[in-house]
Amino acid sequence: MMSTLTPVIGAGRTALNWLLRKTQLERERRWQRDQLVQDKLLEIAALVEDTRQKLGATYGNALCAVVSGHRLKPSNNANPCAWARLQMLVSSYAPELRPHITRLLQIRDEISPFVAEALLPRPRTKLEQQELNLQFVRGIKRIDDECAAFTEAAAQLAHHRLGFGN
């Protein structure tokens, strides 16, 4: 009787081992996927912060130049904003965040003519200076607000995707 049960027990043990290995592999795959998503969302957040700092510094420098009556000196920044990398990461890992990139680019494009104006070496009237200053202050505020919203959306997306708070 025992000899007839041995193959059945062996088959059962093999099936159980296979099931345990499959479950372990699935768990490891989910963990790796979650880790990748978390890493990419953290990279997106870091790039957004970098963009906020760089655009804020550019607009702040332009504001100082206009206030002091000088022209903005062109930046020879060897490390510009990583727009392409940010867009690629969002497209690949977080397409829900695309509206935030669109708004950041829109703000940048709206403020760029004023930065170009600050680069020109020409005297400005008090009214022109005030208008440029106002645009730079608004630009800094809008970039800060949009970057904060972008980072918050990335954090919420991470919580949702990784199953926290569900």
pLDDT in tens, 54-69: 999 999 999 998 888 8
Residue 148 lies in a domain: yes
75 pLDDT tier (thresholds 50, 70, 90)? confident
Q: Is 21 a member of any domain?
A: no
Q: Is residue 124 part of a domain?
A: yes
Domain assignment present for residue 2? The answer is: no
Asked if residue 52 belongs to a domain, the reply is yes
151 found inside a domain: yes
Report the distance separating Cα 127 and Cα 23, nearest Å. 70
Q: How much helix, strand and coil, in percent to the nearest 5, is found in the chain?
A: 85, 0, 15
Any domain includes 59: yes
pLDDT digits over 86-122, tens only? 999 999 999 999 999 999 999 999 999 999 999 888 8
d(C-alpha 149, C-alpha 166), whole Å: 21
The verdict on pTM exceeding 0.85 is: no
Structural domain including 154 reads 36-161
Whether residue 8 lies inside any domain: the answer is no
How many domains is the chain partitioned into structurally?
1
